[in-house]
Amino acid sequence: MGELIGALASWKLFLVVLLVFGLAPGLLLRIIVFAFHRDDPRRQELRGELFNVPRWERPVWVVEQLEVALVEGLGERIAWALTGRVTHRWTLRSGVDAHRAHPETFWIPDDVEKAALTPGAHVKLMFMMRDGWGERMWVRVDGVGRRRLVGYLNNEPVGIPRLDYGRKIRFTRDDIIDIDYSDGA
């Protein structure tokens, strides 16, 4: 009997109990919430509920939440990603290529204007779908690098799913078809 009590009180068993009932449920739950989309309220709810579950029930409760996250959260994110990248795929069309194809009718800013871009300027880009649908929309420049620029969409698309006002857009100077400095630079 003394050996059993000694084994139960051993430091190895204490570490296992501390890990299973203390550290592991919280860490695993923090990983589980990533299955849900960033704006999903269940992310915050799950974190809050963990501390309302009695400590001895937490490991089982967290495993139950893993099943929910895999079916509901991850399933929705996979469907969302596939429809955005496979079904409704959009790309940026090069303004330089369009100008080369139609130099008399398709004007673009010159390289000096494009090189002088600063954050705050608005540039117009051509967004194209696989089916040939396209829209020309304004993007507010937020960051300027040597090769790439970053901005935020300043229009609400009419016919391009999964592209919303305020979306971060990465583009090159060749993609630019017009520049408007009236709001900043």
Identify the helix (H) or strand (E) that includes residue 143: strand 134-144
65 and 106 both lie in a single domain: no
pLDDT digits 0-9 by tens, 82-99: 665 555 678 899 999 999
Amino acid 128: pLDDT: 92
Q: Closest Cα partner for 142 from 152, 133, 134?
A: 152
41 and 69 both lie in a single domain: yes
DSSP secondary structure of 71-107: IIIIHHHHHHHHIIIIIT-EEEEPHHHHHHH-TTT--
142 and 73 both lie in a single domain: no
pLDDT digits 0-9 by tens, 6-40: 655 676 777 777 677 777 788 888 888 888 777 77
Domain boundary among 64, 87, 110: 87
Q: Which residues pair with 170 in a beta bridge?
A: 150
pLDDT digits 0-9 by tens, 103-151: 999 999 999 999 999 999 999 999 998 888 899 999 999 999 888 999 9
Domain boundary among 61, 87, 113: 87
70 and 137 both lie in a single domain: no
168 and 122 both lie in a single domain: yes
- Per the structure, the complete domain to which residue 153 belongs is given by 90-180
Please indicate, yes or no, whether the overall pTM of this predicted structure exceeds 0.75: no
Q: Is the pLDDT of residue 152 over 60?
A: yes
Mean pLDDT estimate for the chain: 84
Amino acid 81: pLDDT: 66
- pLDDT above 90 covers a percentage of the chain that reads 40
